[in-house]
Chains A and B, each alone.
Chain A
Amino acid sequence: MVWGMSDAVDTHLQELRRGTVVLACLQLLREPGYGYALLERLDSHGLPTDANTLYPLLRRLEKQGFLTSEWNTEESRPRKFYSTSADGIRLAETLQQEWRALTESLSSLTEPDPAHEES
């Protein structure tokens, strides 16, 4: 049975999801947020992400200038807050557009093609 090959299926699912974490982070961090809270919010939006993927990713995006960060020491536990920079917002918009275009292209694959129907 096809679903018996769950390793292959898992790999394909992972490949498909890989790039979406970046987009999700950039969108969620339009409001400043810290590591663990972001992890929870991603989870609650149906985008569960591994902590060991997310934490390094946040630093990488910061290094690339798509996020800015600031230590908040007002609360009992000092936390590093990230927020999407102007560059990050532009990147998020580009990625979001691409995602929509991909969704459309992919759904068109299984829809009957009107141009083809006529011939």
Chain B
Amino acid sequence: MSATLTERYISATIRSLPAESQEDVRAELAASIADAVEARTEQGEDPEAAEREVLTGLGDPAVLAAGYADRPLHLLGPRYYLTWRRLLILLLWIVPACAFVGVGLSQALIGADGGTIIGQAISTALTAAVHVAFWTTLVFVILERTGADTAETWSVEDLPEPKESGTGRADLIASLVFLGLVLAALGWDRLIGLVRVEGDWLPVLHPGLWPLWTLLLVAIVLAEMVHAIVLHARGRWSTGLAVANTVLALLFAGWALALFANDLLLSPELLQLARTAGDIDAQSMHTLGVILVVSILAVAAWDVVDGWLKTLRDRRR
């Protein structure tokens, strides 16, 4: 004989409960359902219809089980939602953009055509975004279930300064994550290589840069990190910080351009490969070089101007 509706209902309810409470809940729920059915049949109701009515009244067993287990019926509750949202937005600003630029650059360097470069860069950025969203959410769902504390309690000190110009915590984290990624990429490039061509990893940067020039770049990146931290601690731009920012931007641009001009920036192996495998003629190579130089200059100029603009704005308030 197949199980009655009541048996099936109870089994469905207690299935997800801790083993030690299962039998107790089963016995109690069975008695409660039997009491309720009996009360209805005493009124002259058909036993089968009464059973159906009672079970329908109790509702979805999963909801009842969540009540017994004191489990949340949501993926993320108010306790973690805001932290999750802030972090996710921050990461979605940073990670896919880095993936886009990184993949685009490496595809361009191995001589892929325009369509492939954009296609690869977009698809990698999308994949990165999906991964970021999924893993971040998963971590918070686990936090929600285990009740761990994120130690993020709000206080009045967290109130943002009025009209701040990129000195908030989000900007600090963004800067540090980006600079950290740069350092990681440097190390990776040195040890393994950033570009994969036909199963082999090739470094992007010239091997001759190690150790002096690489360490100089590391020093610049570390100085940028210190700059970001000081900026966050001060909470506003000042002339000193703008000067430091300008010096750092010029240092980086100078570093890159000096090496590039002497054919010491990019790995000759990679360039050779780009010429042969990518079938890029000297003319296109030259164009690519110009684009790279212009980008380096543009980024540096934007960084410098941005720093001074924010300094002026902060001085006015």
Contacts and interface: CB of A to CB of B under 8 A. Distances in A.
Interface of A: 34-37, 39-40, 50-53, 55-57, 59-60, 71, 77-80
A97 B21 CA distance: 34
B27 A55 contact: no
Contacts of A59: 21, 25, 68
A36 B32 contact: yes
A36 B27 contact: no
B70 A60 contact: yes
B135 to A, nearest CB: 33
Interface stretch (B57-65, B111-119, B299-307): B57-65
A50 B198 CA distance: 66
Contact of B31 (A39, A40, A60, A78): A78
A39 to B, nearest CB: 8
Interface in B262-280: none
Interface stretch (B33-41, B139-147, B211-219, B233-241): B33-41
Given A36-B36, A36-B39, A37-B35, A55 B57 contact: no
A56 B28 CA distance: 11
Contacts of A35: 28, 31-32, 35
Contacts of A39: 36
B64 A56 contact: yes
B35 A77 contact: yes
Nearest to A34: B31
A-B complex: 10 closest residue pairs judged by Cβ atoms = A56-B67, A36-B35, A35-B32, A80-B28, A56-B68, A79-B31, A52-B64, A36-B32, A52-B59, A52-B58
Interface residues of B, number: 20
Given A50-B59, A53-B67, 6 more contacts: A36-B31, A50-B57, A51-B58, A55-B67, A56-B67, A57-B67
A78 B63 CA distance: 25
Contacts of B133: none
Nearest to A80: B28
A68 to B, nearest CB: 14
Contacts of A50: 57, 59
Contact of B32 (A51, A53, A57): A51
18 contacts: A35-B28, A35-B31, A35-B32, A36-B35, A36-B39, A52-B59, A52-B63, A52-B64, A52-B67, A55-B67, A55-B68, A56-B70, A57-B67, A59-B68, A60-B70, A80-B24, A80-B28, A80-B31
Nearest to B29: A55
A80 B34 CA distance: 13
Contacts of A34: 31-32, 35
Contacts of B36: 36, 39, 51
Interface string B153-181: 00000000000000000000000000000
B57 A51 contact: yes
A78 B27 contact: yes
A56 to B, nearest CB: 3
Contacts of A51: 32, 36, 57-58
A58 B64 CA distance: 13
Contacts of B59: 50, 52
A52 B62 CA distance: 11
B117 to A, nearest CB: 53
Contacts of B21: 59
A35 B28 CA distance: 8
Contacts of B63: 52
B28 A55 contact: yes
B68 A77 contact: no
A52 B32 CA distance: 11
Contacts of B39: 36, 40
Nearest to A38: B32
Contacts of B31: 34-36, 77-80
A35 B68 CA distance: 14
A56 B32 CA distance: 12
Contacts of B68: 55-56, 59
